[in-house]
Each structure stands twice: as structure tokens, then as C-alpha cells.
Amino acid sequence: MTPDQAAIRQAVLDNSRAELLNELKAAHQIIRNMLGLLSVCQKSVLAERNAHDGVDGEGTTRYHERAAVIRRAGGQE
């Protein structure tokens, strides 16, 4: 691989990482917005479904896990 090819490959990877981080941050905000609209009963049902699907975490929506990944990726949460 030439130095130019390596630089292009690195730029593509950096761009992909930035896109993924932006999408994760957007999903994080969408989930927070959604939780603000749900009743306590609806949040309970959501927690049960997440647990059933194996995507439960520290809270109903894995807020802390997502926030930690965003922080580690340099996205400030």
C-alpha cells in the first residue's frame, strides 16, 4: 500500500467513525425525547421488552452505556 492509499484509507475510516458517532448522539437524544413522552406504565413495558430482547442494561434504555461510549469516542456527553 502506498502512502497516498494509506492516507485515503485512514480518511475513510475517520469519516465513518464521525458518522457513527453523530448517529449515536442523535439516537441518544431521540431516546431521551421519547422517554419524556412515555408514562410510567409505558416505560415499564419498554423495560420488559428490552429485557426480553436482551438489550437491557443499567436502566430502561442503556443511557449510561451509550453516554460512556459517546464520551470515549470524543463526543462529550
pTM of the model as a whole: 0.78
pLDDT the model gives residue 36: 95
What are the domain boundaries of the chain?
A: 3-72
Q: From first to last of the 77 residues of the chain, give the pLDDT tens digit.
A: 898 888 888 888 888 999 999 999 999 999 999 999 999 999 999 999 999 999 998 888 999 999 999 999 987 76
Task: Say how many CA atoms lie within 13 Å of 72 toward its Cβ.
Answer: 6
DSSP H helices, the chain, are 3-37, 40-52, 63-72
